[in-house]
Structure 1
Amino acid sequence: MIGFIKKTVAKMWAKNHVKQTDNYKNNAEQLQEHLLLDLVKSAEKTLFGLQHQFSEIKTVEDFQKKVKISDYEDLKPFIEKVKHGDKNILWENTPEYFAKTSGTTSGTKYIPLTKEGMDYQVKAAQSALFHYIAQKNNADFVNGKMIFLQGSPELEDKNGIKTGRLSGIVAHHIPKYLQKNRLPSYETNCIEDWETKVDKIVEETEKENMTLISGIPPWLIMYFEKLIERNGKKIKQLFPNLQLIVTGGVNYEPYREKMEELLGGKVDIIQTFPASEGFFAFQDDYQKEGLLLQTNHGIFYEFVPLEEYGKENASRLTLKDIELHKDYALILTTNSGLWAYSIGDVVRFISKNPHRILVSGRTKHFTSAFGEHVIAFEVEEAMKATVEKFPAQITEFHLAPQVNPENGELPYHEWFIEFEKEPENLENFRQNLDLEMRKRNTYYDDLIAGNILQVLKITKLQKNAFQEYAKSEGKLGGQNKIPRLANDRKIGEFLGKFKI
C-alpha cells in the first residue's frame, strides 16, 4: 500500500512540475536577461561588484563591457579571500560549500557553491526525474533500491565552508523520501580507493532490488563488469526491475553499445549535464536527442563561437543570437558568484524552442597540430558511425597527433583504441573511420587530400589500459573522465606502453 501511495504521489508531482516548466521553456530569452540583472543587483555591494561598477549596469551590453570573460586564474584572487574567511567578495552571502575539482593549470580548484546554487543543483536533478515520470507515466523505480556512484561524502572545513567533491556534497542533499532506498552505505561511500569501493558496492547491491542506477559511463561499466564477473549474469538478469540509468559527465553515445551488451535488456537512459559550477541541462525527453538547457536555475549563459574563443573582442552571444548546429564555448554567470566564467565546455544547439543542446567537446580538448581543429564531437560521431557499420565494441579510445613519425613517412592521427570486441577486418574499419572523419571535418579532409597527412593509424591496446592511465593520474573513479583527444602525445605515450 505504501508503495502504491509513493508511486501515485510521484506521478502527481511530476505532472504538476512539468506543467510549471512551460513558462521558462517558452520565454527563455527574456527570462535570461532579467536573471542577469537580478544577479548583478544582488552582488552590487560585493568586492567584485564594486570593482566592476555593477551599480551602473542596466543591460546585458553594459555587463559585457564591464565584465570580461574570466577563467579560474582570473577569479582565484577573489576565491582565495573567500577561503580565508572574508565576507561579501563574489556574492552577497558566504558560500555554503567549495566544490573541489582538478585543474590542469591551476591545480585543485575551489568552486564556490552558495545555498541558492546548491538548491538549483538538487532541483535540476529532481526535474530530470519528474520529466521522465511524467513522460513514461510510470514511477515504479521509487519503490526499489537506487545507487549513485559518487565521490566520498566526507567534507573538510575551510573557515566554516564545507569542502569536497561535488558528488560527495550532493550525497548530503538526497531527498528524505529517497534516503531509505539509497545505496551504497555511507561507510562504503567514504572509501577513497575506487577499486576497493566498487568491490564493496558490488557486495552491497548484488542481491538487492535495484531500480535506478546513476553514474558516469566508464564507472558504470566497471561496476557492471564486476557484477557480471561475480554472478555470471547480465545486469537485467541480476536486476529484473531496473528501470532507469541516469548518466552524465561525458557523451553517452560512444558507450551505448557496450552498455547495452552488459545490461542484456531494455533500460531507459536519461543523460544530464551537471558540473561543480551548476547543473546546466538534462534530457527532458528520454526518447529524443538533446538536453534541455536550464534557463531559470540561477545561471545566465553567454556563448562564444568556438572559432573566436580566446581572441580579444570575441563575440559574446545570448540565447536570442545563437544559431543551430554551431559550436559555442559556454560562459556562465551564476548565483554562486561566478561572473562571465568560461567553464571549458563546448555546446551545440539542436533546437531553439525549447533550447536543447548537445555537449560537443571541451575548449582545451582538441587536435589541431596541423590546423585541422578536430573536436570531441567529431571523433565520437565518426567512431559511432564506424562501429555501427563494422560490428565492434569499444571500451575507450584516445586520439593524438603524430607530428614526427619515423622513416620519413607523412604525419598522421593516431587512435589508441581498447577494443572489447575487435572488428573482423581492422583495415576496413580503419579506412572507414578515416572517411567518417573526413566527412565531419573539412580541414582534415583537405590535409588528407593534399598529402599533408596520411590516413589515420590505429594502435590496439590491452584490456584496462585506460583504467591504468586514470590510476596513474589519481583520477580513477568519481566524476573523472579521460579526454577523447589531445593536441599533444602525453596521454598517447602512456597508453603506448599497453600496445598489443
Structure 2
Amino acid sequence: MGIRSFLSKPYAAYIVKQQLKWANNPSQAQESVFQNLIQVGKSTAFGKDHNFGDIKNYEDFKKHVPICDYEDLRPYIDRVIAGESDVLWRNKPTYFAKTSGTTSGAKYIPLTKDSIPNHINSAKNAMLNYIHETGNANFLDRKLIFLSGSPVLDKSGDILSGRLSGIVNHHVPGYLRTNQMPSYETNCIEDWETKLDRIIDETIHQDMSLISGIPPWVQMYFDRIIERTGKPIHETFPNFDMFIYGGVNFEPYKTKLFDSIGKVIPSIETYPASEGFFAFQDTQTEEGLLMQLDSGIFFEFIPTDEYFEENPTRLRIEEVEMGKNYALIINSNAGLWGYSIGDTVKFVSKAPYRVLVTGRIKHFISAFGEHVIGTEVEKAMKFALEQHPEVKITEFSVAPQVNPIKGLPYHEWLISYENEPNDPDAFALTIDNKLRELNVYYDDLITGTITRTLVISALQRDAFQQYMKSIGKLGGQNKVPRLSNDRKIADKIIHWKK
C-alpha cells in the first residue's frame, strides 16, 4: 500500500462524517447557503437592482429574482468583462469558464474565489466516498489520466478564461499532481486527434489505474489503443480499476466500453457543469447522485410541465417529490441568480437527496405533441441492447422526420454501430415498443396512424466523431445532443450514412 492510499482512508472517513452532518439536515444546509448568498449579494449591482435588502426568506426571493438564462445575465457579465467589480458577486471572478452557446455564441460563466472549492472539493469527495465505502484506494498510487480540455487560458478583459476542465486542471491537488497524466505540454494541444495520439504515446506503457472523462471520448481513446496493440485495455493497463465519468448518461456506452476494457471495473458518476458541481455518486449500492447542498449553491426546482409557463411553480429542496421531473435552477456564490442551467433531474431518494439527470429542458421531440425526453429514448435504447446482446453502438441521436418523401412522419434514430443487429427490423421494433410503453403520447400517435414506427438510419462507425470534427468540437467536454426537435443536426450527421 502506497502513502497516498494509506493516508486517504482516514481522510475519507473524516470527509464522509462531515458530509453526513449536512446530508442529514438538508433544509438547514440549504437555508444556511441561502442566507449567506443574500447577505453577500446585497452589496452587488445585481442585488441592488433586485432589492436584496428587502429579502428575508425564500418567498421574498421569488418575488424579486426572476428565472433567467445566460442572455438575461449577459448585460451584467459584459460589465464584469469591461472591468467593473461587485457586479454579480463580491469583487471580480477569478476565471470565466468559456462554453459554446447555441443562441449566445460563446458564453462566459464566472468562477469566483468562493465558488472554485465547489468544483475541486466535489470531485475529490466523489473519490473519497468510494474509498470510504469500499476500502479500495490503490488506484491513487499509480498513474491517473483526466481527459480534459486545454489548460491554456486566455483573458476576457482582465480575467483569465478557458474551458472548465482546463481551469480545474490548474487546481488538481498536489498529492495527485505527480502521477497525473498526460503531460502539461500534451494537454495544451488544441487539435483533439493530435492530442489523443500524443496522450497514447505517453500513457500506453504506463501503469494506469484511473481514467476520467466523458464516455464517448474515453471510448475513442480506448479504440486507438486497441488499434495499436491488438489487445483489450485491461491487458495494456492490468491495474486499471477506476473509471470516473460525467456529462452524459453512461448506459448507452456501458456495454461497448467494458467490452473494450475486457472486464467490468468500478466506476463513479459525477454531475459537473461550468455553472457548478451539483452532485456525485456517493455509494456503489444505491441509485442516484448525492446533491451537494452545502457547497455554495442554493437549488430551486421547477416541474418540467410548467417550465415554459409565465409563472411556473418554484420549489426548494424539501418541497420536491420523488419520481417527478424538474428543471434545475441554481443560485450560487459564482454570482448566478435564478439561473436555469437547462438540465432536468428526477429524485430517487430524499434521505439523503439523490437525483438522476434525465435530460435537457430544451432537448426533446414534440413535433406532434409527444414530448419525448432524453431519459425515455435512453431507456428504450438500453432495453433494446439488453434484448439484442449482439448489438453494440458507439453513439446515437434522434430527430423527427416531419415531411418524409413518402408515407407517414416518423422519429429517425441515427445510430453508429460497433456491431450491427442480426435483425435490424426487430431491433428497431424493440426500441419503438419500449418507447411506446414509456410515453403514452408517442403511443397514441402511432395507434392513431398520425405517425409511423421509428426508422433507424445506420451511420458509419465514426459518424458522430466526424460530425463533431466538422464543427470544430471534437473531444474535450463537447457532446452531441441526444435528441432534437428539428433536423438541424440530423441533416448534417446523415451525411455519414452507410
With the length of structure 2 as denominator, give the TM-score of the two structures. Answer: 0.99
Q: Which residue of 1 aligns with 2:163?
A: 165
Count of residues in Structure 1 that have an aligned counterpart in Structure 2:
497
2:398 equivalent to 1:399: yes
Task: Give the aligned residue type for 2:438.
Answer: R
Shift of 1:97: 0.4
Shift of 1:159: 3.5
Deviations 1:166-218 (A, max 9, x none): 00000000000111100000000000000000000000000000011000001
Shift of 1:496: 1.6
Shift of 1:286: 2.6
2:149 equivalent to 1:151: yes
Q: CA RMSD in A?
A: 0.9
The one of 238, 255, 258 equivalent to 1:257 is: 255
Correspondences of 1:320-335 after superposition (within 5 Å): 320-335=318-333
Q: Which residue of 2 aligns with 1:94?
A: 92
For residues 208 and 4 of structure 1, the distance between their equivalents in structure 2, rounded to whole angstroms, comes to 17
For residues 497 and 5 of structure 1, the distance between their equivalents in structure 2, rounded to whole angstroms, comes to 53
Shift of 1:259: 0.6
With the length of structure 1 as denominator, give the TM-score of the two structures. Answer: 0.98
For residues 108 and 160 of structure 1, the distance between their equivalents in structure 2, rounded to whole angstroms, comes to 17
Correspondences of 1:68-467 after superposition (within 5 Å): 68-391=66-389, 392-407=391-406, 409-467=407-465
What 5-or-longer segments of structure 1 have no aligned partner? none
For residues 319 and 193 of structure 2, the distance between their equivalents in structure 1, rounded to whole angstroms, comes to 46
Deviations 1:282-321 (A, max 9, x none): 0111343211111101000001111111211100011111
The 4+ residue runs of structure 1 with deviation greater than 3 A are: none
For residues 5 and 479 of structure 2, the distance between their equivalents in structure 1, rounded to whole angstroms, comes to 35
Task: Give the aligned residue type for 1:143.
Answer: D
For residues 4 and 487 of structure 2, the distance between their equivalents in structure 1, rounded to whole angstroms, comes to 53
Shift of 1:267: 1.3
For residues 24 and 190 of structure 2, the distance between their equivalents in structure 1, rounded to whole angstroms, comes to 44
For residues 297 and 340 of structure 2, the distance between their equivalents in structure 1, rounded to whole angstroms, comes to 13
Deviations 1:299-358 (A, max 9, x none): 000011111112111000111111111111100000010001000011111111111101
For residues 286 and 271 of structure 1, the distance between their equivalents in structure 2, rounded to whole angstroms, comes to 10
What 5-or-longer segments of structure 2 have no aligned partner? none
8 A contact 2:395–2:416 mirrored in 1: yes
More off after superposition, 40-49 vs 152-161: 152-161
The one of 482, 485, 488 equivalent to 2:486 is: 488
More off after superposition, 319-328 vs 376-385: 319-328
For residues 242 and 131 of structure 1, the distance between their equivalents in structure 2, rounded to whole angstroms, comes to 19
Correspondences of 1:40-51 after superposition (within 5 Å): 40-51=38-49
For residues 485 and 204 of structure 2, the distance between their equivalents in structure 1, rounded to whole angstroms, comes to 42
Correspondences of 1:466-481 after superposition (within 5 Å): 466-481=464-479
8 A contact 2:81–2:158 mirrored in 1: no
For residues 193 and 335 of structure 1, the distance between their equivalents in structure 2, rounded to whole angstroms, comes to 33
Question: SS state of the match for residue 255, structure 1?
Answer: helix
For residues 4 and 190 of structure 1, the distance between their equivalents in structure 2, rounded to whole angstroms, comes to 30
Question: SS state of the match for residue 115, structure 2?
Answer: helix
